[in-house]
Amino acid sequence: MRITVTVDGTTYTDEVEPRLLLVQYLRERLGKVGTVVGCDTSNCGACTVHLDGHSVKSCSVLAVQADGCEVTTIEGLARDGQLHPVQQAFHDNHALQCGFCTPGMIMQAIDLLAEDSDPDEQAVREGIEGNLCRCTGYQNIVRAVRDAAHEMRPGAGPEAERISGAQAGVHRS
């Protein structure tokens, strides 16, 4: 099947098998290996990306279901060499150890902050409940998300992520 998907501001048109998962499409076809796969059961959230502005587990979406949609991955966050405020807050607060959960955590944290620009600790914990971390014990992750919230007031919506027209191009692979 032919699909057209905009990923991190670039539009791709590709022929894919219906059974191809969105995460495989991102990693194996587009080389966006920043998005990782941590489980086989849709539980870990490491594969979280934004689909039309909302967080989803990209291992639980078929690439064909993303036809006509806009996808943002962890690779589409930095601007002109500047980390996204949530990425910076993870760095500043030591919110990662092995880093495997980090791409998904950051994408989900951005989704959470778009819904609630100043979440308390409980709201952060609930907002990232679909993301598992085996290393940190979550403490510093929660701290980083709240820190980012303060940096970013009044909140980063899908708008904050939209890539400017100048950078967007069309690419076929």
Ligand X SMILES: Cc1cc2nc3c(=O)[nH]c(=O)nc-3n(C[C@H](O)[C@H](O)[C@H](O)COP(=O)(O)OP(=O)(O)OC[C@H]3O[C@@H](n4cnc5c(N)ncnc54)[C@H](O)[C@@H]3O)c2cc1C
Residues engaged in binding ligand FES (CB under 6 A): 37-39, 42-47, 57, 59, 96-101, 133-136
Q: Is 62 in the site for other proteins (CB under 8 A)?
A: yes
> Minimum distance from CB of 166 to other proteins (Å)?
30
> Minimum distance from CB of 43 to ligand X (Å)?
5
Q: Cβ(66)–Cβ(3) under 8 Å?
A: yes
Cis preceding linkage at 154, omega within 30:
yes
> Minimum distance from CB of 132 to ligand FES (Å)?
7
Q: Contacts by 80-84 with C-beta closer than 8 Å and gap 24+?
A: 84/110, 84/156
DSSP string covering 70-97: EEE-GGG--BTTBPPHHHHHHHHTT--S
Q: Which of ligand FES, other proteins, ligand X, none does residue 37 bind (CB under 5 to 8 Å by kind)?
A: ligand FES
Q: Is 139 in the site for other proteins (CB under 8 A)?
A: no
| Token pair in block for residue 102 | 């980090």
With CB under 6 A as the rule, give the number of residues binding ligand X.
2
Q: Is 42 in the site for ligand X (CB under 6 A)?
A: yes
For other proteins, which is the closer residue by CB, 48 or 136? 48
Residue 4, phi then psi, degrees to nearest 5: -125, 120
Alpha carbons 58 and 54: distance in angstroms, whole number: 11
Interface with other proteins (CB under 8 A) = 1, 17-19, 21, 24, 40-43, 45, 48, 51, 54-57, 59-62, 64-65, 67, 108, 111-112, 127, 129-131
